[in-house]
Structure 1
Amino acid sequence: MPTRIDRRFRALKDEGRAGLVTFTMAGDPDGPVALEILKALPAAGADVIELGMCFTDPMADGPAVQAAGLRALASGSTLDQTLAMVAEFRRGDDTTPIVLMGYYNPIYIHGVERFIREAKEAGVDGLIVVDLPPEEDAELCIPAGQAGMNFIRLATPTTDAARLPAVLENTSGFIYYVSIAGITGTAAPDYRSVASAVQRLKAATTLPIAVGFGVRSAESAAMIAESADAVVVGSAIVEALRLSLDAEGRATSRTVTAVTDLVRDLAAGVRSAARVKEQA
């Protein structure tokens, strides 16, 4: 049965454009404001939402996302609260896909069977768990798929032809291509290399290809959108949030609009790529 993610990417294909995937951290800078941001993202132009599950040792995250996780932890954010946040979002939006992104430890502590059941009930559509390799698919990937959730895998510039089949085997929803080698938000992508990598992936799978890491502006989003099925933006969004906070790290009247204004700009950039393709 198609998931919300499947339906959204099908709709994007019918529209002839790439999608915008936005990342925010659950509980950053506090629960109520994080929920307000989450609810505002679709109207601002987010096609798919990645919601971060904060963790004390986020080894793949750059400074901006690490700081967001620390703010969330300081605000008391928990996995239970993250799932409750999704459930509250679903009361007003039953169409926008939500992907939980994070690390396996909090899920393991929560209990895998319990997590899958509660995530599905809350309205979660997919999972990105960056520290579970394909060799551990039986831990979470396969059970999540059996429950009707997509498990999204990351491919990187170092994922060679020998490794790629294992990465793709149980992946569903979309492939998240990491455009740079390293942690999030620390470098700009090489657009020609990204386009070449997307074509290589498309030759190996029918799944949509979303490209992230290093996308900071409408212009860079437009460049990525020329070849990818979706553009993922995270660090730039959580950094815009950080810059809106007061000296004590608390939300201000500017916090929600700082995020939504940037997302609108990014969405406009992604959509401009579709117009360029039409004119070509």
Structure 2
Amino acid sequence: MSAGLPRLTQARAPLLQAVQVVNERGEVQQLQIPAERALTLYVDKRELVTLMTLGAHPEWMVLGYLLNQQLIASASDVESITVDWEVGAAGIHTHRGITDLAAKTATRVVTTGCGQGSMFGDLLDSVSRRALPPTTVTPQMLQSITETIRQQDSVYKQAGSVHGCALFSGGELQLFVEDVGRHNAIDTLAGWMALQQRPVEQGVLYTTGRLTSEMVMKAATMGIAVVVSRSGITHMGLSLAQSLGVCAIGRALHQRFLCYCGHERLLFAPQHRAVTVA
């Protein structure tokens, strides 16, 4: 690990669990289902929250969660993250503690994210002051992204019941993550990004789940200006994307998509002219 970055365990847990089921003909079958498990986060020995997760990359998820909740400013604020699946706990040790942790976590909003997400405090003010990068996309890039995801080997193809999130840079896949909740998957991407110590150029976030206000907020916190979903968008998600300058694209499948807002970031080849909306 590079100097200044936290020490991380590499805790792994089985992503799938074999079970027996009985089908409509009374036949016994064996199949795989996602292995959901609880992970309780302790910051400097103080309990913070319990997340329900698949557990693919728990250390990245924990780091991304702290960043997206704006409890820390950067990965270098954390000394170490230790995940122990035997007790279902993640021990986070910071260098200097988290200032006003009690106040920051006093206001807790339970969100609609699968697996029950949560947002602490009033994050909107600080996020709205951030300038997002001048990222643009073309229909050809969106088609390439959806095709890449279609070909991706995944837990969903084996067992269903999970969401996936992917980070693209310049149209190239950087990381694909699945979890029981899309908010966990995006936090994992955020943790991975923080460890790279370099900005993601022309970053695009893809998710299989709907674009809620929580997902848009997390994307903006990560400095991602374009979000793409196989599903749709909620009204609050749309309002937040509009206010933050995020380009929100939904119903993205094969060559079809709907751009809900941020149309100026959508360019059509070969002219590469921005869309004009009356």
| More helix, by proportion | 1
The two structures have a TM-score, normalised by structure 1, of 0.30
Larger Rg computed on CA atoms: 2
| More strand, by proportion | 2
The two structures have a TM-score, normalised by structure 2, of 0.31
